[in-house]
Structure formats: C-alpha cells, structure tokens
Amino acid sequence: MDVLRKDDDNPNRLNDESLGIYLHIPFCVRKCRYCDFLSFAGADADVIASYAHKLIGEISGRSVEFGPDRTVDTVYFGGGTPSLLSPKLVGEVLDVVYARYRVADDAEITLEANPGTVSEDTLRGYIGAGVNRLSIGAQSFDAKKLRYLGRIHSAADTRDAFAYARAAGFGNIGMDLIFGVPGETIAGWLDDMDEALQLAPEHLSFYSLTPEKGTPVFQDIVGGRVTEVSEIDDRLMYHSAIERLAEAGYRHYEISNAAKPGYESRHNLKYWSLDDYVGFGLGAHSYCDGFRFANTERMMEYMSAVTPLSMMAWEHANTASDDMAEFIFLGLRRTDGIDLARFSAVFGMNFWDLYKEETDGLIERGLLEQAGDTLRLTRLGLDLSNRVFQEYV
C-alpha cells in the first residue's frame, strides 16, 4: 500500500483546519440479534488490552501523516462496545492522541456505552480520562423488545447508567433508540420515546430496524417466525418521533438524529458535511485530503501488521465527481439541506448546470424543495431518501 500523499492544492478539500478521529473498538459482551457491524463477542480483558495497545501504536505511527497541520476537534470511540475498555485504557488512548496531535481545547470526545457495562465509578473514570460526551445504547425500554434484540441490559440498567453519568459529571449525553421491531406497535414505540424524553438526554438518535442479511432477525423474518413491521407503520413511528421530539424542544437536524440546540453531534456532522476524519482500528474507514481508505477487517492481519500502513485494506482517490456527489447526498441527510452557493464556491461550478434535470424531477415528485440557495428533503423525501440519493450517484 502506497503512502497517502496530501494534496494541499486539492480544490475539493472542504475543511483545511479541523480533523475528526474515529476509534473502532470491535468487542461486545454478546452480539445483538440485529447487528452486522464489525464486532466480536466474548473477548477477555487481556485481548481487549492487547488490541488497545495496537490501536495506540497505529494512532502514534500515523501522526506524522495526519497530525502536524490539523487541529483535532472531535474524537469518537465507536464499536462494538467501547465501554468494555477500562477508564485506564481509554486514558492511555487519549494520552497518545493529545501527545501526537494538536487537539482543540473544546474538542468533543465521545464514548459509546452499553448500559449493562458501566457503573458510576467507571463513568467518573472516563470523565477523568478526558471523555466529555457519552452515547448510551438504550435501544428500548421495553423488556420484551430488548430480549428480542438480544440486548444484555434492562430498562432499569439504562436509567441507572443515565443517573450514574449525570452524577459523574456528564453534561452531554446522547441516547440511541430503535423502532420498527417485529411485533412493535406505534403506541409501544411512543412509550419508548416518552421514557427517553423523561431522562432528557441532550441528543437522541432514532433508527428504523433494518433486517441485515445473515443476522438472526433477518432469518426470523425470511423464515416466517416473525412479521416485519409494515412500511406504513414504520413511517408513522418515524414521524411521530419527530413530532414528539419537537414538542420536547429538540431540533431534528439529520434524518435519524435530533438534539437540544447546540448539542448536535459534531463528529457525525463531519460525515454529512464531507469534512476530513481519520479512522483507527480494525476495519476503520477514513476520508482525508480527497482520499477514502480503510483498514483490514481481519483481526489477525490487523494485530500482526508491522506498520500502520500495512493495516490498510484499500484506498480510493476521490475524483471531483465523487466529491460533488458525496457533498450532495451526504449533505441532504441534514434537515438544513445543502447550500448551493457553497457548492459553487467549493467546486467552481454551478449546481444547476450539472444537476438540473434530476433535481427538477425530484422537486416535481415532491421529494426535494428549494428555499433560496438551499436544497433539502421534503417530508416525503425523508421517507424516500435513498431514492433521492441514488439520483446523484
């Protein structure tokens, strides 16, 4: 794998200053029944520690390539279950980030946590290590739904984890919920939403269950053991959640995300704004300096790699057309939509000269709407967003 070379003259580089860092922690206590993420169940503490130290080596080894001229303003521990890392290990990882990169004083540093894996002591430890944002994978407050999804925690665990996080000092807490689980009703979903809103997290993510091929949930559906929630009910659940969130003072800022004003996920906004981020760890993906690249998904290959570059599985140099398409379909995920004036400033081309036919068609079908220099999804467009995005790929 050749060394990636930065192109300081790249006209499609959208953000010259900031850099996000994603850290993949691929371990779980148990694999959830709907999950097709790159993660493994049952690793012991020694295996997790060995992986964390390999991750530290990768972060340090690539700092010459990514560190000198950027300010890291977001760090995100994702998984898997990052809360299986001890506060000591999280601190060691963050220590090398701070030592080898220029980190902003107000950097957003997020750690995903499973409610069944944390205590007030561990959460205080994460605060001490430098984590300032917690993302709790609640998914539901319904015991039957949690069992079906294969979650290891209970609703009480989620409430306890939230209380522990507040007591530990977390002032920025996100929570994930899943809707559209087989057998779920609209009323049941709204009960889940109301339970979450009673806790008043700063951020809420709400995802429709996608039966990914090969998962137990997918096998249940194709085998006729459960009935998939109808598309109509799924959409009713989605829009009822948006309404509930608005009533509670949250801003719906991305297809599946809402936040209290000022608490939007700064790291995830990088993905939707085509800003630069670098992923470290098994299978981690990156977009930086006009390149997309990813690490190997094979654990033995990752752990035995002699250099960080030998961990990489592939790289792709984005063309101008790639970046323009990604600017559009990623940007349209945000409810604010895309700024057409910014498109012209970044790419030196008029949006309408390039995409008039497909965009006019989407507006006529009621999937997009234009307001001045902004183009955004309509309510119907939110439901059919993948069809919209395909027009620009």
Rounded Cα–Cα distance for residues 207 and 257 (Å): 9
Give the DSSP per-residue string, 164-183.
HHHHHT---EEEEEEE--TT
Positions in the chain whose pLDDT score sits under 50: 1-13
Q: At what angle do helices 340-347 and 351-364 cross, to 10 degrees?
A: 150
* Alpha-carbon gap, residue 83 to 112, rounded angstroms: 7
Smallest CA-to-CA distance from 175 within 265, 103, 243 is with: 265
Cross-strand bridge partners of residue 312:
295
What is d(CA 42, CA 27) in angstroms, rounded to the nearest whole number?
8
User: How many beta carbons lie within 10 A of that of residue 356, not counting itself?
Assistant: 11
Q: Which amino acid, residue 267? A: H
For residue 273, give every residue at least 6 positions away whose Cβ sits within 8 Å of its Cβ, in sequence order, or none. Answer: 14, 15, 330, 331, 334
Taking the mean position of all CA atoms in its chain, how far away is CA 356? 31
The total of other beta-carbon atoms located within 10 Å of residue 347's CB is 18
CB-based contacts of 104, cutoff 8 Å, min separation 6: 18, 71, 72, 73
Q: Are 100 and 63 in contact (CB under 8 A)?
A: yes
- List domains and CATH numbers for the chain: 18-272 (3.20.20.70), 340-393 (no CATH)
CA-closest candidate to residue 81, choices 113, 53, 54: 113
Instruction: Report how far residue 120's alpha carbon sits from residue 157's, in angstroms, rounded to the nearest whole number.
Output: 12
Q: What is the pTM of this model?
A: 0.94
Instruction: Give one DSSP letter per residue of 350-367, joined into a string.
Output: -HHHHHHHHHHHHHHTTS
The 8-class DSSP code of residue 334 comes to B
CA 255 to chain centre: 12
State the DSSP code for 17.
Answer: S
329 and 315 Cβ atoms separated by less than 8 Å: no
Helix (H) / strand (E) element for 232: namely helix 231-247
